[in-house]
Amino acid sequence: MTATLSALAMIALLSRCGASAHESDASKGTATDKGEASAPTETFLLKKDKFSTTLQLPGELIAFQQVDIYAKVTSFVKELKVDIGSEVSEGQLLMLLEAPELSSQMLAAESRLKSQEAIYAASNANYNRLVETSKTPGTVSQNDLDMAQAKKSSDFANLEAARAASKEIATIKGYLEIRAPFSGIITARNVNLGAYVGPAGKGSEFPLLTLQQQKQLRLAVSVPEAYTGCLKQEDEISFKVRSQPSEVYKARVKRMAGALDLRLRSERIEMDVVNENKSLLPGTVAEVSIPLTAKDSTFVVPKTAIVNSSEGLFVIRVVNGKAQRVSVKKGRDINDQSEVFGELQMNDRLITKGSEEIRDGQEVK
């Protein structure tokens, strides 16, 4: 009997402990839910600011002027006056070519010219004598005078044709002397003495010489479409080259394409770089830093306020204690802030840390 009573007492005690534990857990859960529900959501007031960033882009240094020189006429290389690295001035003789057949053609053209000059001189003198004689009535018929005038005109036309042919041959012969179109440095030479060259076919696969103007260079950069509105003429940029990592060079924007490249969707801009000491080489890749200062103030928000979901980009505005999604377009980034564009107003209250879980109309504390 005593054992039975002891067992019943033990069961009652365990039941009470279990009930107490359940009540304790329930009360803790309620307290936790209340704590979460009462936690405030962090917000901020929307403001405008001028967004200034620095855009890092690769650029290329190219010669201010560069030309590949080819032979105009079929010929042989007779003399080479320059070599790779030669510094030349405008009009300087670079190469002398030889074409024996041109000399023969030149002699033939000069002979025809002299012959036509003699023929025209004779017909002109004959016409002038007839004119003088015709002043005495009945001495020269009008027909003879007209024929003499026609002969003179025909001979003059033949003389002009001979002069043109002679000039043409002289011009072609002038192509045998290759001169520098501008001052610069010879950077490539692809022929040797006696080489056969010409305007087409064998001997014209590569240029005879390549001439570059290196005392002034062009720095070419392709600026993406999103940043083209932030640049204008005479804006200063800085750049570095790998061969001189400690040097920082400055240049100003001189030329802007004014249109986007259809493949890259970017605008080509060029800066002039003075290179008197020739420390910079054409073809060098430069690391260009372009300061981008916005022309107008724009809305700037923390990056965490922008939600990127399958529905698009949006920020969450708090209106009368309720959430309201506002679609936006993202601009430039700097550090932990971003430009946004959309149907926003000054002093709108936005949630600092947006989330897809916050729906339109949801209450926000």
**Cα angle value 132/136/142 (rounded, 5°):** 75
What is the rounded (10 degree) CA torsion for 132, 135, 137, 142? 70
Q: Which segments of the chain belong to CATH 1.10.287?
A: 102-175
CATH of segment(s) 297-351: 2.40.420.20
Q: What pTM value is reported for the model?
A: 0.63
Amino acid of residue 92: Q
**Residue linked to tokens 């430039």:** 332
Q: Which segments of the chain belong to CATH 2.40.30.170?
A: 59-63+214-293
Per-residue b/e over 56-71, b at no fewer than 16 CB within 10 Å?
ebebbbbbbebbebbb
Q: What is the pLDDT of residues 30-63, one digit of tens each?
A: 444 443 434 678 888 888 877 667 888 999 999 9
Radius of gyration over every alpha carbon of the chain, rounded to an integer in angstroms: 45
- Specify the CATH class of 102-175 in words: mainly alpha
Q: For domain 59-63+214-293, which CATH number applies: 2.40.30.170, 3.40.50.300, 2.40.50.140, 3.30.460.10?
A: 2.40.30.170
Q: Which residues pair with 329 in a beta bridge?
A: 341
Q: Which segments of the chain belong to CATH 2.40.420.20?
A: 297-351
Q: Are 57 and 288 in contact (CB under 8 A)?
A: yes
**Cα 308 to chain centroid, rounded:** 33
In whole angstroms, give the CA distance from residue 111 to residue 121: 15
In whole angstroms, give the CA distance from residue 194 to residue 178: 15
Q: What is the pLDDT, as a whole number, of residue 32?
A: 40
Average pLDDT over residues 210-226: 93
Q: What is the pLDDT of residues 91-118, one digit of tens each?
A: 999 999 998 888 888 889 889 999 999 9
